[in-house]
């Protein structure tokens, strides 16, 4: 890499925590690896004033939409997961996001773009073609197994995928194998750094009991009846302590605070030290989001999934269960039975699940992606021969979008 300061742009959204968390993990890894040679900026183009307000607001209503209309969400996901529907979707992404992405690129003038959300790929391609230049971009998939076809854009310089199954799906969807890199989902580099730290040491630091089986419960607006799960844990009679994280949701936090707990319980609102909480715990109870599932596995933490989206997150549940790193417990009764099985016989099943979890995903995916970025920056920028841009120009003209 030359001595010239490189400008690296990461595009993400705020629909849930996963995409931005992945972006921040990559940013941290890049700054750790080449901070003296680069400037790294995270941007959310959906917040650009050029994006229609209904689209800007939708990312913050994401949890509400999937919670209230799960079957509609599932149907939309399944119908759109094919070549032809994705082509229509990409045309829509260009119409809605072209100006926002163009402005973002123009303002920062990056040497390389990394995106942790698939909708920005088609607009990036359009900006490259109509600007008659080429800003290479890397797309980082944040779903473990069930990966929507919209992720597989052939204009990408590299696509990073979490698993072998994800790599196979990308190749079957038309991406050249040399463009597909199996890295895992990028998680906070602290997860890797904490792997050698003993749980008891972290529990002392956090003020938790060192001698109790520790259950980490991560709340989400998508999870219905979270109180029911906590009630069976708290009345189980097992020698446990509960660590409850509200994830910044006021209603969940209030529910935690209003509960009269029978066991030692620690309540948090929004935390920035989740890797430390995970490393200090013995198991996690959470939804089946790609990022939190990967973080837990990278931390060697058995997972009790109590909710999943009917589309992409079903694959995350299956991945965990099939590899015996956790269980799917959609009801409080199933959760209680699973907990009892895990804790019997000197916790042999829980220990085995922890061992299985620790082998499934790499904890250093962010650093692997950072290295790939360095390799790409060391290569000369390719000369792009843009084909006929008339269809693209006609599309934007039809909606009075200035090129």
Q: Which of 148-162, 288-302, 358-372, 377-391 shows the lowest per-residue confidence on average (mean pLDDT)?
A: 377-391
Q: CB within 8 A of 277, min separation 6: which ones?
A: 206, 216, 243, 245, 268, 271
Structure confidence at residue 81 (pLDDT): 56
Eight-class DSSP state of 46 = G
Whether 134 and 105 have beta carbons less than 8 Å apart is answered as no
Whether 46 and 13 have beta carbons less than 8 Å apart is answered as yes
Structure confidence at residue 378 (pLDDT): 83
Dist. CA 87–CA 83, nearest whole Å: 6
Structure confidence at residue 353 (pLDDT): 98
Whether 114 and 8 have beta carbons less than 8 Å apart is answered as yes
pLDDT digits (tens, 9 = 90+) for 245-277: 998 899 999 999 999 999 999 999 999 899 999
Structure confidence at residue 79 (pLDDT): 43
Structure confidence at residue 76 (pLDDT): 47
- R_g (Cα) of the chain, nearest Å: 22
Write down how long the chain is.
Answer: 403
Whether 218 and 247 have beta carbons less than 8 Å apart is answered as yes
Instruction: Classify burial at 386, counting beta carbons within 10 Å of its beta carbon; exposed 0-12, middle 13-18, buried 19 or more.
Output: middle
Eight-class DSSP state of 68 = H
Structure confidence at residue 393 (pLDDT): 87
Structure confidence at residue 176 (pLDDT): 95
Dist. CA 143–CA 162, nearest whole Å: 7
Residue of 164, 162, 161, 157 lying closest to 178 (CA atoms): 157
Structure confidence at residue 294 (pLDDT): 93
> What average pLDDT does the structure give for the chain?
88
Per-residue confidence band for 70, with pLDDT thresholds at 50, 70 and 90: low
Angle CA 32–34–40, to nearest 5? 85
Q: Which of 45-59, 75-89, 212-226, 377-391 shows the lowest per-residue confidence on average (mean pLDDT)?
A: 75-89
| Domains along the chain with CATH numbers | 6-186+364-398 (3.40.50.2000), 189-358 (3.40.50.2000)
Query: Higher-confidence residue: 85 or 305?
Result: 305
Q: Looking at 246-387, list the stretches that DSSP marks H as alpha helix, in order from N- to C-terminal side.
A: 250-258, 274-280, 290-298, 313-322, 332-343, 348-358, 365-378
Dist. CA 104–CA 340, nearest whole Å: 52
Residue of 179, 169, 138, 160 lying closest to 312 (CA atoms): 169
- By percentage, how much of the chain surpasses pLDDT 70? 89
Dist. CA 67–CA 77, nearest whole Å: 15
Structure confidence at residue 298 (pLDDT): 93
Per-residue confidence band for 284, with pLDDT thresholds at 50, 70 and 90: very high
Residue range 360-386: mean pLDDT, rounded: 83
Query: Higher-confidence residue: 385 or 327?
Result: 327
Q: Which of 145-154, 242-251, 394-403 has the highest mean pLDDT?
A: 242-251
Dist. CA 312–CA 29, nearest whole Å: 27
Query: Higher-confidence residue: 314 or 74?
Result: 314
Q: CB within 8 A of 396, min separation 6: which ones?
A: 94, 95, 98, 126, 402, 403
pLDDT digits (tens, 9 = 90+) for 192-229: 889 889 999 999 999 999 999 999 999 988 787 899 99
Q: Sheet of 6-11: strands edge to edge? A: 38-43, 6-11, 112-115, 137-140, 158-161, 180-182
pLDDT at 73 over 60: no
Q: Looking at 360-402, list the stretches that DSSP marks H as alpha helix, in order from N- to C-terminal side.
A: 365-378, 390-398
Residue range 292-301: mean pLDDT, rounded: 94
Structure confidence at residue 127 (pLDDT): 93
Structure confidence at residue 290 (pLDDT): 86
Structure confidence at residue 385 (pLDDT): 56
Q: Which of 14-23, 70-79, 193-202, 278-287 has the highest mean pLDDT?
A: 278-287
Residue range 320-327: mean pLDDT, rounded: 97
Structure confidence at residue 230 (pLDDT): 95
Structure confidence at residue 394 (pLDDT): 85
Dist. CA 303–CA 294, nearest whole Å: 10
pTM of the entire structure? 0.83
Dist. CA 374–CA 195, nearest whole Å: 26
Whether 282 and 213 have beta carbons less than 8 Å apart is answered as yes
Q: CB within 8 A of 175, min separation 6: which ones?
A: 152, 154, 156, 159
Structure confidence at residue 69 (pLDDT): 43
């Amino acid at each position: 890499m030359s001595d010239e300061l490189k400008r690296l742009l990461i595009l993400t959204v705020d629909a849930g925590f996963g995409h931005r968390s992945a972006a921040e993990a990559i940013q941290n890894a890049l700054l750790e690896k080449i901070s003296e040679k680069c400037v790294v900026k995270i941007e959310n183009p959906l917040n650009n004033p050029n994006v229609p307000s209904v689209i800007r607001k939708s990312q913050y209503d994401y949890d509400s939409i999937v919670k209230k209309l799960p079957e509609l969400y599932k149907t939309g996901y399944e119908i759109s997961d094919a070549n032809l529907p994705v082509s229509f979707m990409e045309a829509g992404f260009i119409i809605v996001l072209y100006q926002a992405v163009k402005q973002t690129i123009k303002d920062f003038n990056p040497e390389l773009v990394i995106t942790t959300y698939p909708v920005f790929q088609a607009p990036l391609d359009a900006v490259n073609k109509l600007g008659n230049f080429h800003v290479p971009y890397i797309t980082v998939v944040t779903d473990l197994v069930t990966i929507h076809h919209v992720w597989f854009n052939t204009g990408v310089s590299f696509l990073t995928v979490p698993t072998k199954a994800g790599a196979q799906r990308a190749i079957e969807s038309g991406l050249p194998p040399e463009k597909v890199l199996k890295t895992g989902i990028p998680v906070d580099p602290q997860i890797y750094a904490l792997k050698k730290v003993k749980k008891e040491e972290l529990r002392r630091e956090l003020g938790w009991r060192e001698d109790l089986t520790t259950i980490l419960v991560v709340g989400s607006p998508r999870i219905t009846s979270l109180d029911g799960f906590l009630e069976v844990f708290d009345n189980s009679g097992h020698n446990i302590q509960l660590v409850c994280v509200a994830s910044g949701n006021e209603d969940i936090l209030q529910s935690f605070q209003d509960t009269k707990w029978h066991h030692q319980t620690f309540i948090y609102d929004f935390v920035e030290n989740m890797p430390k909480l995970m490393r200090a715990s013995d198991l996690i109870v959470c939804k089946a989001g790609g990022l939190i599932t990967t973080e837990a596995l990278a931390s060697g933490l058995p997972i009790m999934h109590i909710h999943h989206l009917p589309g992409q997150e079903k694959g995350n549940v299956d991945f965990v269960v099939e590899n015996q790193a956790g269980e799917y417990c959609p009801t409080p009764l199933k959760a209680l039975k699973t907990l009892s099985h895990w804790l019997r016989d000197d916790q042999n099943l829980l220990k085995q699940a922890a061992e299985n979890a620790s082998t499934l995903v790499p904890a250093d995916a962010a650093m692997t992606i950072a290295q790939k970025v360095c390799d790409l920056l060391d290569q000369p920028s390719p000369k792009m021969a843009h084909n006929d841009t008339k269809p693209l120009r006609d599309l934007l003209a039809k909606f009075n979008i200035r090129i």
